[in-house]
Amino acid sequence: MRSSVDYEGYAKCTNLGHCTSGCAQGAKASTDITYWPAAIRAGVELRTRCRVREITTNEHGMTSGVVYYEADGVEQFQPAEVVILACNAVGTARILLNSVSARFPTGLANSSGLVGKNLMFHPYARIAGYFDEMLDGYRGPGNCIWSQEFYETDQSRGFMRGYTFEFSRGQGPVMAAVDGMQIGRLPWGAEHHRAYRKLFCHRTGMVAICEDLPEEHNTVTLDPVLKDSKGIPAPKITYTLSANSRRMLDHAVARAREILRAAGAYDLWYEAPIPGGGWHLMGTARMGTDRARSVVNEWGRSHDVKNLFIVDGSIFVTSGGVNPTRTIQALALYVADSIKQPGHAVRLR
Amino acid sequence: MLSADQCRSLRCLAEMMIPASAEYGVPSAGDDAIFGDILKSFGRDAGHVIAVLQTLDAMSSGPFADLDPQRRDAIARPKLYRDTD
């Protein structure tokens, strides 16, 4: 998100166009500009480069704090009246599964056995083509138009749920070069300059963000051997692209090719799923009212541990076919409000 | 950070990757100003750069830069070039 005017600490967008790499103008509403300054002004202490090993519990089955390592490796214990996890579907599941005790032998908050299960990514299809006319790829945010024509379930398409098309203007000069090289469209040597001029400001397209569905065999577990530098068991990810998602990707590629051809593109290219995908992490501590079928309740609170909350993508029950961050932020605000409501969430003492 | 030989080899490699073009009126990546910036800015990738240069030197049985252009091309081409279009 960006602002057309100076607004509460972030600057007016001047269309520098490298939004995904960070904004030198300070016009991108990233959390370092929005939430963190406000939180620090309100008294939050931010400790960076720390790594939590486990959440501890007391004789009442409540969380009592966390054991963590500072950047220099020194182990610390932080007592807490409430623990709020925000590590997303891999990190949150890893910490919960590492937090074993006599009372919680399979990990914290895991009486349902669902911690780490139903891992969801967003399978992405990426489709692009070349245009003869100059495009304005380097001006302004890259993703500028969305279409959800194929977002809802239509049984005639052969798959459940759907996807969002995100159209882009194109890429700036550096991204065009890096991406062109990665996809094999920008050779080194004598042909480099010709190929680059064909790419830059002449190539654009879209991605399709497909809604992955929850499947219990897609998991985050603890690796039996691998540990990190602090000796904390590492997460092990097991994921299989479903037939439903595969059909959705194929549908998206077919529609995208039609769109690009109609717009005058040629030399069409696609990859589906994109090989570097899987950065949206969701589903491993799902929300629900049935404690046998979910990890946290409708307030984001663990069914098992009354002063443990989760405010990240792990509580999603399905992935949605959109970028998840704003939903995560909305859920975090909603859960924070619920924690403050007497009678709703937790007796702190 | 790089030895003088490694510096020469890296410049040769940069010129192979992005050569000068009279048609488009642009210098090669071995141009003094451009190459100087490359040397200043590869910082965190230094380990990888040095490893590549050591590999090229080993394949060249000496400094990669000391080979004639045809030999350099024969050694580096399989590692640099990808099929396009």
Region A68-75 average pLDDT:
95
**From the list B19, B23, B85, which residue is nearest A189 (CB)?**
B19
pLDDT at residue A348 tops 70: no
For residues B64 and B13, the answer to whether their CB atoms sit within 8 Å is yes
The structural domains of chain A, ordered by start, are 47-111+281-340 (3.50.50.60), 124-215+241-271 (no CATH)
Closest-CA distance, B21 to chain A, in angstroms, reads: 8
CA pair distance A149, A165, nearest whole angstrom? 8
Greater confidence (A17 vs B43) lies with: B43
Rg from Cα positions in chain B: 13
For residues A112 and A293, the answer to whether their CB atoms sit within 8 Å is yes
Inter-chain contact A184–B23, Cβ cutoff 8 Å? no
Q: Worst-scoring range by mean pLDDT, A7-16, A174-183, A234-243?
A: A7-16
Q: Which percentage of chain A shows pLDDT scores above 70? A: 97
Report the length, in residues, of chain B: 85
Where does A109-242 have alpha helices with state H?
173-182, 192-199
Q: Which residues of A86-104 are buried (b: 16+ CB within 10 A; e: fewer)?
A: ebbbbbbbbbbbbbeeeeb
Inter-chain contact B84–A190, Cβ cutoff 8 Å? no
Helix, strand or coil, per DSSP, at residue A124: strand
pLDDT the model gives residue A334: 95
Chain mean pLDDT for chain A: 92
Residues of B within 8 A of A184 (CB-CB) are 82-84
Inter-chain contact B84–A189, Cβ cutoff 8 Å? no
Region A75-82 average pLDDT:
97
pLDDT at residue A48 tops 50: yes
Task: Report pTM.
Answer: 0.86
Q: Which residues 170-189 of A are in CB contact (within 8 Å) with B?
A: 181, 184-189
State the complex-level ipTM: 0.86
User: What pLDDT digit, counting tens, does each position of A264-311 carry?
Assistant: 999 999 999 998 888 899 999 999 999 999 999 999 999 999 999 999
Closest-CA distance, B18 to chain A, in angstroms, reads: 6
Inter-chain contact B84–A184, Cβ cutoff 8 Å? yes
pLDDT the model gives residue B81: 58
- Please work out, in degrees rounded to the nearest 5, the angle formed at the alpha carbon of residue A305 by the alpha carbons of A304 and A308: 130
Structure tokens at B36: 């100087």
CA pair distance A111, A297, nearest whole angstrom? 13
- Number of C-beta neighbours around residue A58 at 10 A: 11
pLDDT band for B85, please (50, 70, 90 cuts): very low
pLDDT the model gives residue A185: 87
Closest-CA distance, A97 to chain B, in angstroms, reads: 34
pLDDT band for B84, please (50, 70, 90 cuts): very low
Closest CA to A168 of A193, A196, A144, A138: A144
Closest-CA distance, A238 to chain B, in angstroms, reads: 30
| Beta bridge mates, A126 | A207, A271
Report the length, in residues, of chain A: 349
Where does chain B have alpha helices with state H?
4-17, 32-41, 46-60, 69-80
pLDDT the model gives residue A295: 98
Distances (CA, A) of B72 to A132, B51, B77: 36, 17, 8
Q: 């202490």: which residue's tokens?
A: A45
Query: Nearest chain B Cα to A183, which residue?
Result: B84
* Segment B46-54 long-range contacts (CB within 8 Å, at least 24 positions apart): B46/B1, B49/B2, B49/B10, B50/B2, B50/B6, B52/B13, B53/B2, B53/B6, B53/B9, B53/B10, B53/B13
Chain mean pLDDT for chain B: 89
Task: State which amino acid sits at residue A246.
Answer: R
